[in-house]
Amino acid sequence: MIVSVLTYVLIFSGFLFYTNIMIMNEYLELESDDIIDRTEIGLNTLELRIRELDYITREYASRDDTYYFIQNDMRHFINSLLSTSSFIENEINFMIFLDELGEVRYSKAFDLISVRNIEINDDLIEAITENRILLDHSESQSGISGLISLADTPVMISSHPIVYSDEELTIIGTLICGRYVNSIEMAKLCSYSYQNLKIIDYDETPIDLQEGVNVWRQTPDIISGLLAINDINGNPLLVLEADIPRDLYIQGRNTVVYFYIAMLSTGGAVGLLAVYLLNKVVLERILGLSREVSNIDPKSLESKSLSIPGDDEISRLSKDIDNMLNTISEYQDMLTKQERMATIGETAAMVGHDLRNPLQVIYMLESRLSRASRQLMKNKDIEPITKELELIKTNLSEQTGYMNKIVSDLQDFSKSISIQVEDVDMESMVVDVIRTMNVPENVEVSINFEMGSNQVQIDGNYFRRVIVNLLTNAVQAMPDGGKLSVKGEKIDGNTSINVSDTGTGISEENMTKLFTPLFTTKAKGTGLGLAVCKRIVDAHNGSINVESVEGEGTSFTINIPDIDDPKPELTEEANTQENVIDSEKNEIINA
């Protein structure tokens, strides 16, 4: 119980700590995004004011009065053009008119604070005219605007070529207009952008600036956005600063405090309730389940059932224990069957050993009977007797062969299989087995191995038994004749051997019992043939599958994994051997 409470406290504390970090990070991110947006609004407002000045400069530079003044020095044109209202309305501090040689033809300055004309400083004119970027205009539509520093004061500047209104005449001069970025201009920028903006010298920046808007948390209550602004030559000139109170951060901090209070209150109540429910609903039921498991009798598993009502984890655990008990009971049944099969195997070994000696005697008698039959056949008067003896010999040979197969199946089933893998020509083995079999004339034989599928790494002695059993079963399944087909092919790195017939087929009921030892549907059969086949195939890490349709035929497929993928090149001797196999196969198929 104490461990559960401590675990709950640790998990809850970790949750609060992680939640605090996540919430505050979200608020800090929102705060950063907000100040970045506000700083960019201030920059956009500044750029808008520069574009306004640029538009005014272009308008004055393209007026015909300006053109005539520069061309003919007609001052009445310029005096009427540059009235006091022009400076006030357009918020311009100075205008400088230059001819095409860069000489100042006229200049005028105006103090927007005291609202009066003032003398323009020669140093100011010289500083402006020395900046060649303001005087180089190759096209009538060219122009430049931006910021420069004049006497340590930032100035909005705009320069446009003086041209005639129809633009057919050449450029005859340059008009430069300026607007000081002073307290009045900063007030307008703040008013237009609804932001608290400042302009500071680039060299006096309080932090190292990176590209874009830099977020500077000055104090716990103030956050600033700093953005470097270049002059018309692309050099850093000043820094635009936007300041706002840290309302979002303070709100986030308060939210976390309220969240802590709420979560601690809720967590305490939930914790107490959880401890009560854990003891009442879980622990008591688990103890009850434990008592029932302790009372299980291992000798009567099938009669024991654990039943805890509900649809939760504990009830499902009781069902899982029930399933486990059923599995153990089934495993006990399987062990019992295995013990019974072991007993069958011992009996089979004993029967096979006892039958082998009489079979040897029968084989010797059959041999002697064969020799006596040949001697009697030389005497024509007793020809009927010799024919009878030959029939007896034939039947005796068939029956002893059948008895020998029973003995071999019994011994193969009773002993463990240890294979000795070697390269075997499977097609040659099939041809040889069919040649030794008594295949009826009404059974058509087809053997087809794809190139490269005949070479298999198997135990030839054991696998010959598999082929003999499958081919024998196929022939016996076609008492009225049919077609026996053997195919070989390579599929996904495996050698696949298919033996199919068009015989009587196997019923669906018997399909599941085919490889069960001692199961047979034949009048004469031990029921060990296919069981032995499966054991041999399994020993090769292969598989054997069967498909059958009753009345249409049966197909057995053996899959043997290849051990070595590379196929050795055939020597001349091997090619000769393949030709012999093909010849024998054709003789069997044509027979």
Q: What is the pTM of this model?
A: 0.45
Taking residue 335's Cβ as centre, other Cβ atoms within 10 Å add up to: 10
Give a yes or no: residue 251 inside a domain. Answer: no
Number of domains composing the chain: 3
Whether residue 282 is contained in a domain is answered as no
Residues 344 and 482 placed together within one structural domain of the fold: no
Q: Mark whether 109 and 172 lie in a shared domain.
A: yes
Structural domain includes residue 278: no
Same domain, 463 and 574: yes
More confident residue, 149 or 372: 149
Confidence of residue 405 (pLDDT cuts 50, 70, 90): low
Which amino acid, one-letter code, is at 56? I
Residue 281 domain-assigned (yes or no): no
* pLDDT of 578 above 50: no
Q: Are residues 137 and 26 in the same domain?
A: yes
Answer yes or no: are the C-beta atoms of 243 and 224 closer than 8 Å: yes
Instruction: Give the tens place of pLDDT for each residue, 335-355.
Output: 766 665 665 666 565 565 556
User: For residue range 184-209, what is the model confidence (pLDDT) as tens digits?
Assistant: 999 999 999 999 999 999 988 888 98
Non-local (6+) Cβ contacts of 7 within 8 A are: none
d(C-alpha 27, C-alpha 196), whole Å: 21
| Whether 357 and 500 share a structural domain | no
What crossing angle do the helices spanning 313-377 and 383-414 adopt, rounded to 10°? Answer: 160
Q: Residue 414 contacts by C-beta under 8 Å, 6 or more apart in sequence?
A: 345, 346, 348, 349, 352
Which of 173, 195, 217 represents a domain boundary (last residue)?
195
Q: Are residues 397 and 426 in the same domain?
A: no
Q: Are residues 310 and 422 in the same domain?
A: no
Q: Are residues 429 and 497 in the same domain?
A: yes
Question: In terms of domains, do 160 and 189 share one?
Answer: yes
The domain boundary residue, chosen from 170, 195, 220 = 195
Confidence label for 575 from pLDDT (cuts 50, 70 and 90) = very low
Within this chain, do residues 549 and 459 fall inside the same structural domain, yes or no?
Answer: yes
From CA 142, how far away is CA 81, in angstroms rounded?
A: 23
Asked if the structure places residue 205 within a domain, the reply is no
Give the CA distances from residue 590 to residues 427, 441, 585, 587, in Å, rounded to whole numbers and listed in that order. Answer: 17, 10, 9, 5
- Give the H or E element holding residue 411: helix 383-414
Q: Is residue 246 part of a domain?
A: no
pLDDT-based confidence at residue 577 (cuts at 50, 70, 90): very low
Residue 102 has pLDDT above 50, yes or no: yes
% of residues, the chain, pLDDT over 70: 73
CATH number (domain holding residue 429): 3.30.565.10
- Judgement on whether residues 478 and 547 belong to the same structural domain of the protein: yes
The CATH number linked to 40 is 3.30.450.20
- Based on the domain organization, do 410 and 449 belong to the same domain? no
- Domain end position, chosen among 168, 195, 222: 195
Q: pLDDT class for 26, splitting at 50, 70, 90?
A: confident
Residue 11 located in a structural domain: yes
Q: Is residue 320 part of a domain?
A: yes
Higher pLDDT pick, 319 / 110: 110
Q: Note down the domain range covering 581.
A: 418-590
Q: E strand or H helix at 154, and its extent?
A: strand 153-162
